[in-house]
Structure 1
Amino acid sequence: MSTVIEQPVEARLVAAAPRMPSIPATLGYDLGDPFAVRMTFPAPATLRGEAVCWTFARELLAAGLRGAEGQGDVRVRPYGYDRTVLEFHACEGVAVVHVRSGELRRFLRATRALVPEGLEHARLDLDHDLTELLRDAY
């Protein structure tokens, strides 16, 4: 069984520069970071001309399908019948994209099949992570 899920999605850019009506973004989930999801935007869609990856809580994405969520750099909320708005706040400005809610639900179902909600902690290797963190402390 794969430990990584990647799903292409079509994101409709609402406000940002450079202006692009549609962006082929990618959603990602990795067992190595079971609480998080990633949304990666290709280089042509960014101000610097480099691919940009935003990492945020899987729980934020799921909750944002039902109602407005988020107070920091990433905010998610439903929009209309089958769209979800994702806002990405950075020093350079705010990118607002619409994604089909059905695509987000399908992605979340795939992540839950890999790691059910509430069991993310069982995938963490805290002893290994602590050893790595403290390795150079001595």
Structure 2
Amino acid sequence: MRLDAGESTVPLFARFAYSADLPYAVQADFLDGLAVLASWQFDRTMLADGLRRPVGEGDVTFGPHRGAGGHEIRIGLGSPAENEDGRAVLFAEARALKGFLRQTYDVVGEGEESMDVDKLLDEILAR
């Protein structure tokens, strides 16, 4: 993965995780060595759609991108305000994300997501 830093790019490590406990979400941690710089949760379907076409508006956007190394996905994070200073643009290898998504579908199949709303409400109200 790489971070677009204006006129140059910076390599960035990312760790993507998926759990059947949150079947609609993909957890992404962006790392500097062992330190987590930022954590985001993405909608799994939106991430998959972003490999084929531009999706999202607001804080998170995805879209296909043709980079020097081949097919990538462009990930836009942060405020879409007029000033782009608060926005990060990342590029990830499309093949790696497709492989990751295939693994998530082994855990919970595409379109088979469900959530126990009563359990979720109990957890929220218990806080």
Q: Same fold, TM exceeding 0.5?
A: yes
Judge conservation of contact 2:48–2:101 (CA < 8 Å) in 1: yes
Q: What is the correspondence of 1:1-138 to structure 2 with a 5 Å cutoff?
A: 11-15=1-5, 21-43=10-32, 51-80=37-66, 81-90=70-79, 93-121=86-114, 124-135=115-126
CA-CA distance at 1:103 after TM superposition: 0.4
TM-score, normalised with respect to structure 2: 0.81
Separation in structure 1 between the aligned mates of residue 95 and residue 23 of structure 2, nearest angstrom: 22
SS in 2 for 1:130: helix
TM-score, normalised with respect to structure 1: 0.75
Counterpart code for 1:75: T
CA-CA distance at 1:83 after TM superposition: 1.0
Pick closer, same or farther for the CA change 1:43–1:130 going to 2, 3 Å: same
Q: How big is each residue's C-alpha offset from its partner over 1:66-88, in whole Å with a ceiling of 9 and x where there is no partner?
A: 01000021100001141111111
What fraction of aligned residue pairs are identical, expressed as a percent?
33
Judge conservation of contact 2:31–2:37 (CA < 8 Å) in 1: yes
Pick closer, same or farther for the CA change 1:83–1:126 going to 2, 3 Å: same
Separation in structure 2 between the aligned mates of residue 116 and residue 21 of structure 1, nearest angstrom: 34
Q: RMSD value over aligned CA atoms?
A: 2.3
Counterpart code for 1:125: D
CA-CA distance at 1:35 after TM superposition: 0.2
Q: How many residues align?
A: 118
Separation in structure 2 between the aligned mates of residue 13 and residue 134 of structure 1, nearest angstrom: 39
Pick closer, same or farther for the CA change 1:34–1:22 going to 2, 3 Å: same
